[in-house]
Amino acid sequence: MTPWFDFTTLSPADSSSALLTDIHRLRHEVYCVERGFLDPAQHPDGLERDEYDRCSVHIGASSLDGDLVGTVRLVQPNGGMPFPFEDHCALFDTVALPPREQVAEISRLIVKKTYRRRRGDSLEGVSAEFLEKGSAAAILPPAPSGDARSNSPLLLLGMYREMYRYSRANGVRYWLAAMERALARSLDRMGVKFVPIGPKSEYYGPVTLHLIDLDVLEQSMRTENKFLAAWFSDEPIPTWMMLETVLGGLAATGSRPAPTPIC
């Protein structure tokens, strides 16, 4: 599904990793320089870091030549620390959060600018075409075209898959995420359906706090795209499932298979 990217998961114990330094550098490039959310003067070494990095699992997505092109972290506060959202976002009065030990907050989701170069691409690298017409059923294995910037949000999906696999293996059942509307809409089209649980807030831009139950996510994916569910869970993918996914996705998008060349 992601032949152009390699994904690495770093635990809090990997604080001296060279990849983590690259992650901090990319965060500085996007959050401080490109988007202006943070003051570059507070990070004179060109590395954006904060107190939550010590209790976070970091995902790094690299191109095949080793260039870091995307990153995200799962924050699991310890020692009485709040979640990052608690300093910025409120909850609806009717919402009660799940047990904290089962929750992680998605934070610092970034895709490098060179991987969202097409007109209309979202900041997370989702194409305008997918945002308008995409669906979980239409997410297909990529064609061997050599273009890492396909219409399916494979880089974003790959990072979510890494977070999902880590969470399932480490007792995390729920994700919190403070998201802009465009990202929430993109994820919904991918089949990752977050539920808004708070009013709009200002938190590195206008965002709404969302929650997702990974048990519900798994059930939803197995209904909408069995191939995607198997890939997320790292299960063997039989040939019949691959064919069913491709044919179903083509039907969902109204596409027709390309003619088979005669050699």
- The answer to whether 105 touches 198, Cβ cutoff 8 Å, is no
Beta bridge partners of 9: 59
Q: Looking at the predicted structure, is the pLDDT value of residue 247 above 80?
A: no
Q: Looking at the predicted structure, is the pLDDT value of residue 241 above 80?
A: no
Two tokens, residue 230: 């198997």
What is the average pLDDT score of the chain? 84
* 27-36, 211-220, 236-245: least confident range: 236-245
**Any idea which residue has 């305008």 for tokens?**
128
Averaged pLDDT, 240-247: 57
User: What pairing do the DSSP bridges indicate for beta strands 5-10 and 68-75?
Assistant: unpaired
> Could you tell me the pTM of the whole model?
0.84
User: What pairing do the DSSP bridges indicate for beta strands 56-63 and 68-75?
Assistant: antiparallel
**pLDDT confidence tier of residue 186, bands split at 50, 70 and 90:** confident
Q: Looking at the predicted structure, is the pLDDT value of residue 260 above 50?
A: no
Exposed/middle/buried for residue 117 (C-beta within 10 Å: 0-12, 13-18, 19+): exposed
The residues spanned by each domain of the chain are 73-91+98-253
**Any idea which residue has 């620390």 for tokens?**
81
Between helix 214-224 and helix 154-169 the angle, nearest 10°, is: 130
Dump pLDDT digits (tens) for 77-102: 988 899 999 999 999 999 999 999 99
DSSP H helices in the chain: 18-27, 128-133, 154-169, 181-190, 214-224, 226-232, 239-253
Averaged pLDDT, 110-119: 75
CA angle 119, 60, 215 (to 5 degrees): 90
131: amino acid identity, one letter: L
Nearest in space to 125 (alpha carbons), one of 11, 2, 20, 210? 2
Dump pLDDT digits (tens) for 211-238: 999 999 999 999 988 888 899 998 886 6
Query: 162-201: b or e for each residue (b if 16 or more CB lie within 10 Å)?
Result: bbbebbbeeebbbbbbbbbeebbebbebbbbbbeebbeee
What pLDDT is stored for residue 149 in this prediction? 45
Dump pLDDT digits (tens) for 58-75: 999 999 899 999 999 999
- Specify the long-range contacts of residues 29-34, CB closer than 8 Å, at least 24 apart: 29/112, 29/113, 30/110, 30/112, 30/113, 31/108, 31/110, 31/204, 34/113
What pLDDT is stored for residue 94 in this prediction? 95
Exposed/middle/buried for residue 124 (C-beta within 10 Å: 0-12, 13-18, 19+): buried
**pLDDT confidence tier of residue 254, bands split at 50, 70 and 90:** low
* Euclidean distance between CA atoms 126 and 30, whole angstroms: 16
